[in-house]
Amino acid sequence: MFVPKMLLRQLYTHGSLTKTPDGICFTLKNRLKDAVIREIQFVSLDGEIFSPDQILVQTGSESQIKASELNQRGPTPFALREEITLTLQIDAEVSPEKRNLEVCFVASPFGKLSFDVQDNVSESGSSTRHIPRDVHDDYQPEIIAERQRYFESFSQHTLDHVGRYSVDPGSLKGNIEHFIGVAQVPIGIAGPLHINGEHAQGEFVVPLATTEGTLVASYNRGMKLLNMSGGVTATVVDDAMQRAPVFVFENARGARDFVAWVNANIETIREQAESTSSVAKLTYIDNFLSNKFAFLRFNYRTGDAAGQNMVGRATFAACGWILDHYPGVQNFYLESNFATDKKASQINIMRTRGKRVTAEATIKREHLLNVMRVEPKQIDYHGRVAGVGSFLSGVNNTGLHSPNGITAMFIATGQDVANVSESSAGIMYSELTDEGDLYISLTIPSLIVATYGGGTGIGTQRECLEMLDCYGRGKVYKFAEIVGAVALAGEISLASAISSSDWVSSHEQYGRNR
């Protein structure tokens, strides 16, 4: 399997070249995919080659052994995100001068891998002010307890609540570093909500994690209203996750010609990108030219994962192949800020980031009057007035508060909460029907959700997804439809409260905790 040199160098942990009593050591971290080490062939330092008998290896919580012994005992698992430490048995001085380090080993499914890096030798040991850490097993009870004591000593406060948890710390690898405990957020339930989706069909009771009074009650009221008129129709209309590298050239003509070359070689670029994952599928590459820069926006489908890390690895591999085969690139950055990761943006509204989902319903006039004490025309008129306010303020959401419900669901179900930045975008529309009823529709153009991977498999988060029958593979569209439907329930509830002037009184009754 071809692995670009640029990607291979990411295996080395920069800053890890350290003087120890046994010699000098450094760490390798698997940033590619699950693998098995077959043989460590050699390590060279400034051209001096060290054989397997001169190299000590530590994997996991095991003691150091010679690389030659590791080679003899057979394949050694090297899982994604796992670290191994290699020690060269020489006496080297601590120095700010860069040393040339080369590593050569054989691993499945890659074959023979060889790369070189530069780093300087630093002193081992850490200051007492550094957070305690075990590079090989940072989730064992002893190191967690040591960090808790460190934090209590540093802050002069005890961890009466943070340190109590039911989750297995060992299951959190890849989710949290320097683990000491958990933050407990209250969870309420709203519903049931009837959804007429392509993937979410039937009634759902929805977990909402929040400390904001009235939020659960408001969403519950909106769900009641929507159910009375037949529920919510929800549809996922697009699916894309991006990484957007930028390539720098001598002039604009060079950037233009490069884009033409990329388009001509799209199939090979796709093969390189998709070789890093069995899930990521490169659907297309947008290109945007400005000055002497070529911005490429790689668009992927990522299955049931949110996929930012997945598409980062895939794009990195593709760009490594591009740099190895296209001359004239003067500079390159994997992320140009054009994917707008963790940021709201106009391009995400237009082109989709995550799932693009629309939730819609037609609400009977009599139900609005009975439940919300408001006329359809009041809500429709307020929406048009608020549209002017949206335009004047330059917001990315013409609705009222869809991020409220989205955030509460994200916290409850283990989503990356920072993705609310993109997921906060919303396009709200309403109209009066000929019968005097109210049609409402909310499009969330960049809803970034997952039902597998990330934080979705942790204790309470997995339980909440399972409440919705949305945990695991093949469930992400269903979950996206539920989130869209819940957001619509919150919109009609708050719109009714504002239009009928119940908003302030409701907060005074339910939302005061002081």
Kindly state whether residues 376 and 280 are assigned to the same domain. no
Kindly state whether residues 232 and 250 are assigned to the same domain. no
CA angle 235, 465, 441 (to 5 degrees): 25
Work out how many domains the chain is built from and give that number: 4
Q: Which of 285, 301, 333 is the last residue of a domain?
A: 333
CB atoms within 10 A of CB 439: 15
Which amino acid appears at position 280 of this protein? A
Q: Which of 333, 363, 381 is the last residue of a domain?
A: 333
Q: Scanning the structure block, which residue is given the tokens 């430490």?
A: 85
The percentage of residues in the chain with a pLDDT greater than 90, rounded to a whole number, is 80
Kindly state whether residues 366 and 417 are assigned to the same domain. yes
Kindly state whether residues 368 and 275 are assigned to the same domain. no
CA angle 94, 96, 98 (to 5 degrees): 105
For residue 172, the surrounding DSSP H or E stretch is: none
Q: Give which of 363, 374, 357 is closest to 440, Cα–Cα.
A: 363
Mean pLDDT calculated for residue range 23-32: 89
Mean pLDDT calculated for residue range 447-470: 95
Kindly state whether residues 249 and 197 are assigned to the same domain. no
pLDDT tens, position by position, 301-320 = 999 999 998 999 899 889 98
In a domain, 102, yes or no: yes
Kindly state whether residues 149 and 266 are assigned to the same domain. no
In a domain, 342, yes or no: no
Kindly state whether residues 94 and 198 are assigned to the same domain. no
Assign 3-class secondary structure to 56-98. EEEECCCCCEEHHHHHHHCCEEECCCCEEEEEECCCCCCCCCC
Q: Which of 274, 301, 333 is the last residue of a domain?
A: 333
Q: Is the pLDDT of residue 8 over 60?
A: yes
pLDDT given for residue 127 in this prediction = 47
CATH code of the domain in which 325 resides: 3.30.70.420
Give the domain extent around 27: 5-123
In a domain, 339, yes or no: no
Q: Scanning the structure block, which residue is given the tokens 């904001």?
A: 212
pLDDT tens, position by position, 364-383 = 999 999 999 999 999 999 99
What is the average pLDDT score of the chain?
91
Kindly state whether residues 216 and 260 are assigned to the same domain. no
**DSSP three-state, residue 311:** helix
Q: Is the pLDDT of residue 288 over 50?
A: yes
Kindly state whether residues 224 and 355 are assigned to the same domain. yes
In a domain, 180, yes or no: no
In a domain, 17, yes or no: yes
In a domain, 341, yes or no: no
The percentage of residues in the chain with a pLDDT greater than 70, rounded to a whole number, is 96
Kindly state whether residues 322 and 393 are assigned to the same domain. no
Kindly state whether residues 369 and 506 are assigned to the same domain. yes
User: Which residues, 6 or more positions from 498, have their beta carbon under 8 angstroms from its beta carbon?
Assistant: 382, 400
User: Structure pTM?
Assistant: 0.83
Question: Cα(197)–Cα(201) distance, rounded to whole angstroms?
Answer: 5
Q: Are 445 and 358 in contact (CB under 8 A)?
A: no
Q: Give me the long-range contacts of 248-252 (CB less than 8 A, separation at least 24).
A: 248/292, 248/293, 248/329, 248/330, 248/331, 248/332, 249/292, 249/293, 249/294, 249/328, 249/329, 249/330, 250/292, 250/328, 250/330, 251/292, 252/289, 252/291, 252/292
Kindly state whether residues 368 and 506 are assigned to the same domain. yes
Q: Are 83 and 135 in contact (CB under 8 A)?
A: yes
CATH code of the domain in which 481 resides: 3.90.770.10
Active site residues: 212, 416, 507
CA distances from 212 to 41, 162, 185, 189, 509 (A): 58, 21, 11, 14, 13
Question: Cα(514)–Cα(74) distance, rounded to whole angstroms?
Answer: 64
Q: Scanning the structure block, which residue is given the tokens 């093949």?
A: 474
CATH code of the domain in which 16 resides: 2.60.40
In a domain, 110, yes or no: yes
- End-to-end Cα, the chain, rounded Å: 62
